[in-house]
Amino acid sequence: MTTEEEREFDDLLLLLKETRGFDFTGYKRNTLIRRIARRLEALKLHDYGEYRDLLELEPEEFTRLFDSLLINVTSFFRDAAAWQRLRELVIPALLDQKPAGQPIRIWSAGCATGEEAYTIAMVLAEELGMDGFRDRVKIYGTDLDEKALHVARTGVYNDRALADVPIDLREAYFERVENGYTFRRDLRRQLIFGRNDLTHDAPISRVDLLLARNTLMYFNTEMQLNIIRRFHFALSDPGFLFLGKAEMLLNHSDKFEPVDLRMRLFRKIRPANHGNRAPWSVTGAATDLASRLPTLASVALASGPVAQLVVDVSGNLALANSKAEALFNLNPRDVGRPFQDLEVSYRPVELRSVIEQARHDLRPVELQDVVWHRVGSPEPSVFDVSVVPLLASGNLVGMGIHFYDVTRYRKLRDELEQANRQLEQAYEELQSLNEELETTNEELQSTNEELETTNEELQSTNEELETMNEELQSTNDELQHINDALTARTIELDEVNRFVSSVVRSLGDAVVVLDDDLRVVVWSPGAEELWGVRSDEAVGEPLAGLDIGLPLDLLLPRLRAALANGTNPLVEVEGLVLDAVNRRGRPAPLTVQLSHLRTEDDTVHGLIMVMNVVNSDG
């Protein structure tokens, strides 16, 4: 690809990001080029610039492009051996670590049309029983493709999609509907499907099992690293990760350890303990302090160094300390307003869904490294956000929201990383001075690096091949749908042909359809029998040019007159019996009846000629 082509390709990706919110810069470039090339070939376009102009003129092409880029290849129990190992190793370990009655949270990232989300639902329902599944399990399926998510939410699949589901599971978990099979409604409530961009959106938190099968392979190395960090944050401790057969975690041994490497099952490694923030506490002589507690609490909240908000159970802003008022431009009149109407509810981070999650689970939810580009500030601010349910006598009375400004610590961490890089550079310079003494060591290290590079190249090639395989599978599914449609149309056409043939046979002894040039369009079996001329010999030929025993010198002027008389729907050769000769050379007196052949707008474009033998001895 030339520099000009690369620039046009980058402009196309920028258009997708700015107009539709899809950022594909983290996807593998070769895959994007190959998929977009398919659209260019289908539209007979020559370069990305022409395609960009087409997208601006025809917005519906965006839908077809996204269908091509977001390859939705999935199935029930895909790679059955891997699912069997999941049932043998992961599910028992997951259930052992959960006390009886505690909720179990599953995330299917890149769920496409939902087959794998429903697969893990069946696996857990088999282990827990129907009642246990309904009481404890919540499965979240996310994807970028809204069309695929609609299929997942509907939960209706045809016989071909259910081919890999064992008969006993199909009978237990699916119900017959008009256009296929639907997942049981009473269990379906435990599955929630929604849109989530793994490259930008916040991950679902406190997940016990995360399925991301053949999802990472579409992203480049840098984006894979970011997504794996998000997965590590999303998982509980311990939590399990289930990848596709084309994906590995070679460079993430500090975050995940293999449960079964061949089947791509991994366990989260417990992170280093950085300690927890201790909540405030009030101590001292209870008698003296009791009268002063309201004042002390009010002053402490107002002057606290951490921005704090309190939302009551009705969803209204109840309290905001001075730090929060200054940070989010709040004033006393905002107290009592619905929290969702305030800018702070969605900037610097979407809080409404987080509050709802903490309210539902009655557990604190923490968001880390929330970056806020404030207007007028030259540098972004970074916050850790904590949403805490406020309980009184066991009842929920509100939600506390704390914004910890960690900008300085983030900057110190970046400076530390920079210092480490400089230290590494100084160390490399020192190493270069000792080359002669460490020749053997460097040769071994070089060999090791070459092996690692080769391994990474093989891994990348494997991911590319798996991507192409899924593309081919997607194309094959499209062709199968087209073939099914063509088969249905062929059956309809055969039925129409049989109906037309039946009508023609029923009209008279011999039926001939002529166009407006008096050429034969239809030559019925009765005409073949009467005149001895086959249909393939007559169709397309002028009636006047056929060697048959019909007195054409008498008939042709009447045919032309009938064509010219477009207002008369039925013209009969005025009671005249034509003296014709049949295929055996015997006399065959005929009556001839003519009807106009009309289009939908009532324009005459031919004649239907029905011939009946009055009296024939042969």
Residues 226, 51: Cα–Cα separation, whole Å: 31
268-303 tens-digit pLDDT: 987 655 444 333 333 344 345 445 445 555 566 666
More confident residue, 328 or 152: 152
| Confidence band, pLDDT 50/70/90 cuts, at residue 108 | very high
Range name among 57-61, 206-210, 363-367, 481-485 with the lowest pLDDT average: 57-61
Stated as kind and residue range, the H or E segment containing 240 is strand 235-243
How many angstroms separate the Cα of 565 from the Cα of each of 234, 309, 517, 519?
82, 89, 15, 18
Per-residue pLDDT tens over the stretch 304-327: 778 889 999 888 998 888 888 888
List, for residues 373-396, the tens digit of each pLDDT value. Answer: 877 777 888 989 999 998 877 788
Report all structural domains of the chain as residue ranges with CATH numbers, in order of start: 3-69 (1.10.155.10), 80-268 (3.40.50.150), 296-406 (3.30.450.20), 506-613 (3.30.450.20)
Query: Residue 399 is encoded by which pair of tokens?
Result: 């939600």
The span from the CA of 141 to the CA of 113, in Å, is 9
Residue 310's SS3 state is strand
Question: How would you write 501-556 as a 3-class SS string?
Answer: HHHHHHHCCEEEEEECCCEEEEECHHHHHHHCCCHHHHCCCEHHHCCCECCHHHHH
Q: Please give the average per-residue pLDDT across 127-149, as a whole number.
A: 91
As given in the structure block, the two tokens for residue 201 are 């959106």
Tens digit of pLDDT for each residue in 402-442? Answer: 998 888 888 888 889 888 888 888 877 776 665 556 555 65
Percent of the chain beyond pLDDT 90? 21
Pairwise CA distance, residues 176 & 87, whole Å: 27
How far is 477 from 73, CA to CA, in rounded Å? 9
CA distance 91 to 95: 6
Q: Kindly tell me if the per-residue pLDDT of 500 is higher than 80.
A: no
30-68: burial string, b at 16+ Cβ within 10 Å, e else: ebbeebbeebeeeeebeebbebbeebeeeeeeeeebbbb
